[in-house]
Copies of this chain bind each other. A is one copy, B any other.
C-alpha cells in the first residue's frame, strides 16, 4: 500500500518548560479504517530517529520503520485497526522542530526552539487524536523512546488509553543512557559547522552528527549480533592495511556508512532536542514515585523487553511491571529471547507479533463488553 503523510496545524502548544510554540504543525500517517464506534484506533509512537512513516510504501518507495508490524494480517492488523503515527514535536520530518521557521524571525528556530519533553510530545499527539475525533485509543504502543511516550500517555491521559504496549523501553533514563546521549550532543556541538545551531542554508555539522550516530548504532546492536554480522572480517583486503587511509574492518566501514547516511535524513539540532527530552524523561516526575505515577493509569499493559538489549535492559521494563502490579494494575510482561540487542523490536518481530496480536484482540473484546 502506498501511503502519504498528512499535516495538520494547531494554533499553539504550552510546554512543560513554561514556553509556548505557535503554531505547531504535526505530520502524521494513518493506516486502516476508523470504525463507526471509533473504538479501533491505535497510536503508534516512533523511536528517536523515526518519523510518521511507520508502515506501507511512501512515494519514494521506502517502507515504513515498522512495516513488518503494521499492515493487513500483521501484528497491528490494518484490516481490524485504525493505526495512527505522527512525527514527534522537535522532529525534522514534518512536525514543528528546531529546523522549522520561527514566525517571530522568519528564519529557522535553531537553538531558539524551546527545550521540549516527552510530555510535550504526548501533549501534541493528544491534540492530533482530538482533531481526528477519537476519544479513547484502543492502544498506545512503541519501542524505545516510543515506549516512553506510551508510558507518558497512560499516565497523563488515563481516560484516553484502553491499553498500552511499551517495548524495549524505560520509565526513566539512567545515568548511562544520559551519558551516551551527551556524547552524541557533544560530538555535534564540537563540530565547527554546528555554529551554535545556525547552520541552516549552510553546511550542516555532518561530521559531528555522523560520529553521534556511530555511537548510537553500537548501542542499538548487541555484542553477539556485531560478532555474527561483522566479527573481525576485513573490508576488501586479505591482510591489515597498516595505514589510516583505508578501512581495515567491515564493522568500521558499516559504522562510517551509517553515520554519513544519517546526515542526509536527520537534523542535528533535532538530535540535540530529542535526546534532551529522553534524558529529562522520568514518568514518575511530579507523582512522587513510579508506583504512584503508574497507579493513575487505568489501561491494561503488555510490557516487552529483549534479553540482549543492553541499552534499555530488561530490568527497566521490569520496574514498570513491578510498579503496576504493586497498585494492582493489569499487566503482562514478556522478556523475549533475541540476539539483536535494542534493534530487536524493529527487526526480530516474530514472537513480538504474536504477543501484540493477541493482546490487541483481547483489548478490543474487553472494550466491546465494557
Contact = CB atoms under 8 A, between A and B. Distances in A.
A135 interface: no
A244 B190 contact: no
B187 A232 contact: no
Interface string A265-283: 0000000100010011010
Contacts of A221: 176
A282 B233 CA distance: 12
A175 B255 contact: no
Contacts of A255: 179, 182-183, 186
Nearest to A230: B175
Interface in A250-270: 251-252, 255-256, 259
A291 B343 CA distance: 34
For the complex of A and B, the 8 pairs showing the least CB-CB separation, nearest first, are A190-B207, A175-B226, A17-B242, A115-B242, A175-B230, A175-B251, A182-B252, A176-B223
The CB with the most chain B CB atoms within 10 A, among A172, A191, A242, A248, is that of A242
Given A183-B218, A242-B114, A249-B279, A175 B207 contact: no
Interface in A12-67: 17-19
Interface stretch (A209-217, A319-327, A354-362): A209-217
A365 interface: no
A80 interface: no
A169 to B, nearest CB: 16
A214 B183 contact: yes
Interface of A: 17-19, 111, 114-115, 172-176, 178-180, 182-183, 185-187, 189-192, 207-208, 210-211, 214-215, 217-218, 221, 223, 226-227, 229-232, 240-244, 248-249, 251-252, 255-256, 259, 272, 276, 279-280, 282, 310, 313
A244 B18 CA distance: 16
Contacts of A115: 240-244
Contacts of A187: 187, 190, 211
Contacts of A111: 244
Contacts of A191: 190
Given A192-B192, A232-B172, A249 B178 contact: yes
Given A279-B248, A282-B232, A186 B210 contact: yes
Given A176-B227, A183-B211, A186-B210, 11 more contacts: A114-B242, A115-B240, A175-B229, A175-B249, A175-B251, A178-B232, A182-B255, A182-B256, A186-B211, A190-B208, A248-B276
